[in-house]
Structure 1
Amino acid sequence: MASDPLDPAVPHGEVHRVDSGASSSSSSFFGSDESRSTTSSGEIPTPEACFGPVGWGSASTIGRRREMEDFVDVAPDFISIPCRDIGGCTVELPAGTISGLRFFGVYDGHGGSQVAKYCAERIHEVVAKEWEKGSDGEGWKRRWEVAFRDGFERVDDEVIAKGVAPDIVGSTALAVLVSGCQIISSNCGDSRAVLYRGDQTETIQLTIDHKPDREDELARIEREGGRVINWKGPRVLGVLAMSRSLGDRYMRPWIIPVPEVSFHSRSSDDECLILASDGLWDVMSNEEVGEVACRLLRRHRQKGLANGTLSSPAKAVADHLVKLALRKFSSDNITVIVVDLKSQSPNQL
């Protein structure tokens, strides 16, 4: 029987996964059914696990588009730094405790896939190097803000210098760091990260979409002599439906590669974190996504505990959300990362 072209189990695009650590280091693109369901070796233990380990899973589909332009990057062992450099711990731990950071990225390309793919390959590496350049005297928040800002702009410069893509190609860039006590979000474009917390599924949007009709973005564009034209929704010069991105050099200075960075302390009530391209958010509200994700995560956790299985709830939820967005007639590529903040099982991409 022929494969359903809209089935998220059919890997139309590539998922970039990075696993690095003391014992092994690898970087590969997953592009087959077998690789898309590969399970990692399990949780990576970290001494900072104030609220327990995290699990994760992702799903992507080309959907109703002709080309897959979404990319995912997960670096589960991104960097390890002193807890004080990630905001300190909310529980009492020995002085000098090291905090492990996990990196999750979603990159939604437009005009082509080249910039999104390059971002998935490079941003986590460049941000780590930019953080190392900083100093303790800046304060930990400022140091991360500068690392993300300079990292995104450096990758944007590389796209042009290396001729990665024509000037009309660009990508959103959503990068989220998760430690035992903190969540740091850096966003450029209209991909989105949302945190869900508590039995009543409190919704906390970690990023604000960069849309041309956002009051501050509209003012910035007009100050630079640009215009926002309503053509199938507000667009910069009637072309781009976002006000920030990497690439898109033909739209400078109105479209900029500068991210907004936010900081949120983790809580023992945190359920999950969802990162997704607008293929999901265009057809589902934050609240709808949270209700579905948290309900399924709780069900899978209970089922896994009862059966003693190690299947990944996060992967199952990511798959379900992609299928649900398709049923709601999403017209775009769809990419979802689910980070289970009460994880009891291995991770899958």
Structure 2
Amino acid sequence: MAEICCQEAKSTPATVATVSASVAAAAVASSVIDRRRRRLEMKRFRLASDLEESAAEYARAGKRQRLPRTVSGSCPDAGSASQQQDPDRCPRYGFSSVCGRRREMEDAVSARPDFLTTGSSKSHFFGVFDGHGCSHVATTCQDLMHEAVAEEHGKACSGEEVAWKEVMERSFARLDERAANWATTRSREEPACRCEQKMPSRCDHVGSTAVVAVVSPTQLVVGNAGDSRAVLSRAGVPVALSVDHKPDRPDELERIQAAGGRVIYWDGARVLGVLAMSRAIGDGYLKPFVTAEPEVTITERSEEDECLILASDGLWDVVTNEMACDVVRACFRSNGPPEPAHAEVGTSSSANGVIISKAESDKACSDAAMLLAKLALARRSSDNVSVVVVDLRRGL
């Protein structure tokens, strides 16, 4: 017994030293990790704070800041004095489309100046399409939606006021049918898209939201299906031109249940526990609970109109209508009178999901779109972010 106690007594200092060394090493490692975490949190805080206040700083600086352009465009000669006073001129515009924290880019943006001529008046088309499941439905809408609207407008135009609601409904229905038949009508020579590579039979599990705007000299016509959104800034006040189609919206919930469907709360309200929106183009496997029928608003233009913002939910999930309009107005003030547009030639893409297209660029609009996209990312948006900014100011 004495020997055992003696052996324990002898081994105790070594054990204590080993334990102390382990505790000290763990403390050092924990301290390093804590310091690193604090540095990262401080960086995130500074980034978010800087971007949230960047619009005000941008306006107070008294000079233009050189910001990287993402995607931008406006009509040729948009900055000339003669064009600025012409109510039929194409408005200046800019747009930004960023992959963000998603692995795949599924958003698409469309800007089609002068896509429609009625008598002596010209109208201009803008759209944002937020795909889910794959990008091919959003891309199809990007390529064909303006053509469908122009053709349906031609059929409906009989010398009197056009029934824009019917035009938009038929146009969305045509794209919905195209999405349903996509797998059988696409050219076999085209490379297989992501959904086909994974499982060819799941092409009907793909869809896209669609918010489109037709800007004429006298009206703003907006058609929306899904949770992308259109917001007008008028005299400093944001005016929502569309209402998000969420499954738990009372009228949408009633419509889904009347059709025999259910809304299940699984990480938010979802149709049959799957789709987080109640209207979209495509998604054949969820018909008739998910419909492509758009809600259409027609707004008379005013001298107090400042800008129109179209964006996917990657922006609206983290940025309010008021904040978005404030950012755009600050960019307009900071840039001063518009400069003549300059060409941005070529088509390319970068690793961070920014897509640059051939266009005529307008600095104020493209800066505003880019700043909104950066603000959404700083506020931890987890989705693709696509923004279109249209300058509606007259007499500039």
- TM-score with structure 2 setting the length: 0.68
Partner of 1:230 in structure 2?
A: 265
Partner of 1:259 in structure 2?
A: 294
C-alpha deviation, 1:35, in angstroms:
9.2
Check 1:37–1:276 CA distance in 2 against 1; reply closer, same or farther (3 A cut). Answer: closer
How many pairs align? 290
State how far apart, in whole Å, the 2-side matches of 1:160 and 1:107 are. 17
C-alpha deviation, 1:77, in angstroms:
1.1
Check 1:54–1:252 CA distance in 2 against 1; reply closer, same or farther (3 A cut). Answer: same
Contact 1:73 1:106 in 2 (8 A): yes
CA offsets 1:88-142 (integer angstroms, 9 cap, x no match): xxxxxxxxxx2110000100000110100001001100111111111437x5252
Instruction: Show the 5 A alignment for 1:101-140.
Output: 101-136=123-158, 140=161
| Greater per-residue helix proportion | 2
Q: Does 1:240 align with 2:261?
A: no
State how far apart, in whole Å, the 1-side matches of 2:387 and 2:224 are. 15
Seq. identity, % = 44
Q: Does 1:169 align with 2:206?
A: yes
Q: Does 1:183 align with 2:220?
A: yes
Partner of 1:3 in structure 2?
A: none
Q: Does 1:79 align with 2:116?
A: yes
Q: Does 1:62 align with 2:83?
A: no
CA offsets 1:66-102 (integer angstroms, 9 cap, x no match): 00000001110111104xxxxxxxxxxxxxxx21100
State how far apart, in whole Å, the 2-side matches of 1:69 and 1:41 are. 29
Check 1:196–1:51 CA distance in 2 against 1; reply closer, same or farther (3 A cut). Answer: farther
Q: Specify the code of the residue in structure 2 equivalent to 1:314.
A: C
- TM-score with structure 1 setting the length: 0.77
Q: Does 1:291 align with 2:326?
A: yes
SS of the aligned residue for 1:140 comes to: coil
Unaligned runs of 5+ in 2: 1-67, 187-194, 196-202, 341-360
Q: How large is the Cα RMSD of the aligned pairs? A: 2.6
C-alpha deviation, 1:297, in angstroms:
1.3
Contact 1:46 1:100 in 2 (8 A): no
State how far apart, in whole Å, the 2-side matches of 1:227 and 1:269 are. 43
Contact 2:101 2:382 in 1 (8 A): yes
Contact 2:70 2:370 in 1 (8 A): no
Which has the greater radius of gyration?
Answer: 2
Q: Does 1:212 align with 2:247?
A: yes
CA offsets 1:139-195 (integer angstroms, 9 cap, x no match): 5252x2111111111111112223167010000011101111110000111100000
C-alpha deviation, 1:231, in angstroms:
1.1
CA offsets 1:276-321 (integer angstroms, 9 cap, x no match): 000000001101111111121122125869xxxx952101100111
Check 1:150–1:296 CA distance in 2 against 1; reply closer, same or farther (3 A cut). Answer: same
Check 1:213–1:301 CA distance in 2 against 1; reply closer, same or farther (3 A cut). Answer: same
Give the one of 293, 303, 325 matched to 2:376.
Answer: 325
Unaligned runs of 5+ in 1: 1-32, 83-97
Contact 1:56 1:314 in 2 (8 A): yes
